[in-house]
């Protein structure tokens, strides 16, 4: 007998394997592109969701490498939560390799949390790459601004309700509870930052503009005069002069940026360079949404005192 029947049964079994777990799994499977959104989704979803992030806090989200392990995570996702504003456009390639119709572009199981966020740094002139790796729709690094958490979690809530409407009440309750807790923390953070309003800092890449604006700190300049392009010696000389003239108090740097360069500039200008948590998990002690913001507040208070 030709081995057609065993082959057919094997194929059927394989197909069954692909289908059966979908119903057996009671939690909503959510995949986020960045860890900040994972933390916020866990806050809203609570025990009803199982959340994975495609990237870690120590990675530069602009240049994430699309690995098949991302496709494995996306393979069974009910919901994909993107940051948007072109920060995580690479996820399209991962989605294409995941063969999951729930999360393809435009599907109900895919949301962007940038919806309704008041975007900063939106270019007002013609944009091209001579300006560096600019984001034509505005600065996408808003997720760690605690003041935007209500909008972000509202978008997350809408996405979760879309794929699991039976849990709407629980999601809403979780969100309110999280925002109430955040309100308490916010009062503490605002009080700590109140005396530092109007202080000036220099950043390596404009990753903190929402956070700084929230607490009244002024971003005087960036080491990268054009995003993603190494700074020229002339720009660095001007930057050092600016730090001195404008009485800039600190240089803020991401964990993955050229810290030696930042420290050299700071030293030449007579200030210090500080590593900020650009995302949840970016540095030690910033493992949750609140602790990441706490870390940044403590760092700024120390840097600007």
| Segment near another protein (CB under 8 A); pick from 1-9, 113-121, 239-247, 287-295 | 113-121
The single residue among 46, 50, 52, 112 that binds another protein, judged by CB under 8 A, is: 112
Q: Is 244 in the site for another protein (CB under 8 A)?
A: no
C-alpha to C-alpha distance for 203 and 221, rounded to whole angstroms: 7
Q: By C-beta, is 162 or 235 nearer to another protein? A: 162
The b/e string for 177-186 (b: 16+ C-beta within 10 A; e otherwise) is ebbeebeeeb
Q: Answer yes or no: are the C-beta atoms of 211 and 260 closer than 8 Å.
A: no
**Token pair for 66:** 């699309």
Q: Answer yes or no: are the C-beta atoms of 231 and 202 closer than 8 Å.
A: no
Q: How many residues bind another protein (CB under 8 A)?
A: 84
C-alpha to C-alpha distance for 214 and 208, rounded to whole angstroms: 10
Nearest approach, Cβ of 303 to another protein (angstroms)?
A: 20
Residues 166-205 close enough to bind another protein by CB under 8 A? 166
Which residues fall within 8 angstroms of residue 90, CB to CB, at 6 or more apart? 64, 66
Phi, psi (deg, nearest 5) at residue 181: -65, -40
Q: Is 23 in the site for another protein (CB under 8 A)?
A: yes
Q: Is 206 in the site for another protein (CB under 8 A)?
A: no
Q: With the C-alpha atoms ordered 36, 42, 45, 50, is the resulting torsion angle positive or negative? A: positive
Q: Answer yes or no: are the C-beta atoms of 158 and 106 closer than 8 Å.
A: no
Per the DSSP assignment, residues forming a β-bridge with 240 are none
Nearest approach, Cβ of 244 to another protein (angstroms)?
A: 25
Q: Is 89 in the site for another protein (CB under 8 A)?
A: yes
Q: Is 5 in the site for another protein (CB under 8 A)?
A: no
Q: Is 238 in the site for another protein (CB under 8 A)?
A: no
The single residue among 3, 4, 5, 165 that binds another protein, judged by CB under 8 A, is: 165
C-alpha to C-alpha distance for 31 and 71, rounded to whole angstroms: 11
The single residue among 50, 120, 185, 268 that binds another protein, judged by CB under 8 A, is: 120
DSSP state of 230: P
- The arrangement of strands across the sheet holding 218-222 comes to 218-222, 200-203, 250-253, 272-275
Q: Which residue has the tokens 């940051």?
A: 83
| Segment near another protein (CB under 8 A); pick from 164-172, 260-268, 284-292, 296-304 | 164-172
CB atoms near residue 169 (< 10 Å)? 9
Residues 69-88 close enough to bind another protein by CB under 8 A? 69, 71-72, 75-76, 78, 84-85
The single residue among 50, 52, 133, 172 that binds another protein, judged by CB under 8 A, is: 133
- What character string, x for contact with another protein (CB under 8 A) and - otherwise, covers 278-297? --------------------
The single residue among 122, 195, 244, 302 that binds another protein, judged by CB under 8 A, is: 122
Q: Is 117 in the site for another protein (CB under 8 A)?
A: yes
| Segment near another protein (CB under 8 A); pick from 33-41, 68-76, 200-208, 242-250 | 68-76
The single residue among 10, 99, 181, 197 that binds another protein, judged by CB under 8 A, is: 99
Q: Is 28 in the site for another protein (CB under 8 A)?
A: yes
Nearest approach, Cβ of 173 to another protein (angstroms)?
A: 16
Q: Answer yes or no: are the C-beta atoms of 68 and 94 closer than 8 Å.
A: no
Q: Is 96 in the site for another protein (CB under 8 A)?
A: yes
């Amino acid at each position: 007998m030709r081995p057609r029947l065993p082959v057919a049964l094997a194929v059927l079994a394989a197909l069954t394997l692909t289908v059966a777990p979908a119903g057996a799994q009671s939690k909503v499977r959510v995949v986020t592109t960045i860890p900040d959104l994972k933390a916020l989704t866990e806050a809203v979803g609570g025990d009803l969701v199982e959340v994975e992030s495609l990237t870690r806090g120590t990675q530069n989200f602009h240049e994430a490498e699309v690995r098949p392990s991302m496709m494995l995570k996306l393979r069974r996702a009910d919901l994909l939560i993107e940051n948007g504003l072109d920060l995580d456009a690479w996820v399209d390639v991962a989605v294409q390799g995941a063969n999951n119709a729930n999360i393809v572009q435009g599907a109900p199981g895919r949301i962007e949390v940038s919806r309704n966020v008041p975007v900063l740094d939106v270019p007002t002139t013609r944009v091209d790459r001579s300006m560096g790796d600019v984001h034509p729709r505005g600065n996408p690094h808003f997720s760690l601004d605690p003041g935007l958490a209500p909008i972000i979690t509202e978008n997350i809530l809408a996405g979760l309700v879309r794929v699991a409407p039976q849990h709407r009440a629980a999601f809403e309750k979780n969100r309110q509870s999280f925002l109430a807790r955040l309100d308490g923390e916010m009062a503490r953070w605002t009080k700590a930052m109140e005396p530092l309003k109007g202080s000036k800092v220099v950043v390596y890449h404009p990753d903190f503009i929402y956070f700084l604006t929230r607490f009244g700190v002024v971003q005087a300049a960036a080491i990268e005069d054009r995003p993603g392009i190494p700074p020229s010696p002339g720009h660095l000389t001007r930057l050092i002069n600016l730090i001195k003239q404008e009485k800039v108090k600190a240089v803020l740097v991401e964990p993955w940026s050229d810290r030696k360069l930042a420290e050299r500039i700071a030293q030449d200008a007579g200030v210090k360079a500080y590593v900020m948590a650009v995302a949840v998990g970016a540095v030690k002690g910033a493992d949750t949404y609140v602790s990441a913001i706490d870390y940044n507040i403590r760092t700024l208070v120390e840097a600007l005192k």
